[in-house]
Amino acid sequence: MHDIQPANTDTEVIRVDPTAPAPAALRRAAAVIATGRLVVFPTDTVYGIACRPDDEKAIDAVYEAKGRPRHLPLVLFVASGQDLGRYAAAMTPELERAARQFWPGPLTVVARARPGVLPALASRGAIGVRVPRHAVALRLVEACGGALATTSANISGRGATNDPQQALEQLRGRIGLLLDAGRAPVGVESTVVDFTTQPPVVLRAGAIGIDELRAAIGRLSDA
Q: Where are the domains of the chain?
A: 3-222
Confidence of residue 223 (pLDDT cuts 50, 70, 90): low
CA angle 211, 220, 95 (to 5 degrees): 100
What's the pLDDT score for residue 205? 92
Q: What is residue 13's three-state secondary structure?
A: strand
pLDDT(4) > 90: no
Per-residue pLDDT, 2: 40
3-state DSSP assignment of residue 183 = coil
Among 100, 128, 101, residue whose Cα is nearest residue 201:
128
Confidence of residue 7 (pLDDT cuts 50, 70, 90): very low
β-pairing verdict for 122-123 and 221-222: unpaired
DSSP structure class, residue 81: G
Residue 26 clears pLDDT 90, i.e. is over it: yes
Eight-class DSSP state of 88: B
pLDDT tens-digit readout, 55-105: 999 999 999 999 999 999 999 999 999 999 899 987 889 999 999 999 999
Say whether pLDDT at 1 is over 70: no
3-state secondary structure of 75: strand
The pLDDT value recorded for residue 91 is 84
- Is the C-alpha dihedral spanning 157, 163, 169, 171 positive or negative? positive
- Amino acid in position 1: M
Q: Which of 152, 177, 175, 173 is nearest to 163 (CA)?
A: 152
| Element spanning 100, H or E | helix 93-102
pLDDT tens, 180-208? 999 999 999 999 999 999 999 999 999 99
d(CA 136, CA 133): 9
Supply φ then ψ for residue 21, to 5 degrees: -65, 140
**pTM for the model:** 0.92
C-alpha–C-alpha distance, residues 128 and 123, integer Å: 9
Mean pLDDT (the chain) is 92
Q: Tell which residue, 200, 30, 223, has the closest CA to residue 102.
A: 200
Please report how many Cα atoms fall inside a 13 Å half-sphere around the Cα of residue 107, on the Cβ side: 27
Backbone angles phi, psi at 47, to 5 degrees: -75, 140
pLDDT band for position 8 (cuts 50, 70, 90): very low
Mean pLDDT score, 149-162: 96
Whole-angstrom Cα distance, residue 195 to residue 165?
35
Which fold would CATH assign to domain 3-222?
Answer: DHBP synthase (3.90.870)
Please give the pLDDT value at position 222: 76
